[in-house]
Amino acid sequence: MGAARLVKKDINLIKNYIEDEIRVVRERDPAIHNKWEVFLYSSFWAVLMYRIAHRFYLKKHYFTARLISQIARNQTGIEIHPGAEIGKGFFIDHGSGVVVGETTVIGNNVTLYQGVTLGGTGKEKGKRHPTLKDNVMVSVGAKVLGSFTIGENTKIGAGSVVLNEIPANCTVVGVPGKIVKRGDAEMPRKTMDQVHLPDPIQDDINTLKHADTEITNQLLSLKDTVKELKREIEKGKIKDSSNEDI
């Protein structure tokens, strides 16, 4: 009877996961047309196999847990360590090349895109991977490396490398990642825009271009002034004292 209850509990957990994943995918991916397409998503199978592997990991069946996770990696291109702690509403869009380390902690309604790494720096022991709070979005190719926390509702731009803790309600871009926007308003879970983010590098370039334009204009103005003085000297209106003894 005990074994039957455990099997029934596991089946119910898988059923709940499938229902939740269908809802999440339909909510966040405009490319989906019906719920059956969810079963074609590599992230669906990667996260399902992670949920199973994680249960073995918690029971200290480490080899079995890693075996399942490696099968998932080979089949989907997504590597989620069974020791990671992942909340509800987790979604990986496309997914190829995603790596989630062993001590990673992920809250609810978090979205990752392809090529994202939630890893360590190779220096820490114990908790060595990041913690992502609720409603975080990590865009294509971004790397979050180290045992620190990314606050709620934070958006990390494509290709960013984040090496330090980020507070809630921020937008981070660049290498290394810099906070370019802070806000008190919650980032809507349906806002999956990876493109329209602030660009601090372009901002710096624009600032330099503006300064260059100002300097050029000042030099041109100075050149015109010198020409005017020269004409005045040639006309005798101004005495040329450049050859006089000082």
pLDDT at 2 over 50: no
pLDDT at residue 62, rounded to an integer: 94
| pTM: predicted TM-score of the whole model, two decimal places | 0.70
Residue 69 lies in a domain: yes
| DSSP secondary structure of 153-206 | T-EE-TT-EE-S-B-SSEEEETTTTEEEEE-SSPPPTT---SSS---HHHHHHH
Same domain for 160 and 220, yes or no, is no
Taking Cα atoms as reference points, which of 106, 97, 159, 163 lies closest to residue 136?
106
Domain count, the chain: 2
Measured CA to CA, the distance from residue 195 to residue 47 in angstroms comes to 26
Q: How far is CA 6 from the centre of its chain?
A: 38
SS3 151: coil
pLDDT at residue 188, rounded to an integer: 47
Same domain for 93 and 131, yes or no, is yes
pLDDT, greater one: 237 or 161: 161
Side chain identity at 32, as an amino acid letter? Answer: I
Question: What confidence tens digit (pLDDT) does each residue in 189-216 have?
Answer: 445 455 555 666 667 787 888 888 888 8
The CATH number of whichever domain residue 106 belongs to comes to 2.160.10.10
Question: What confidence tens digit (pLDDT) does each residue in 45-100 have?
Answer: 999 899 989 989 999 999 999 999 999 999 999 999 999 999 988 999 888 899 99
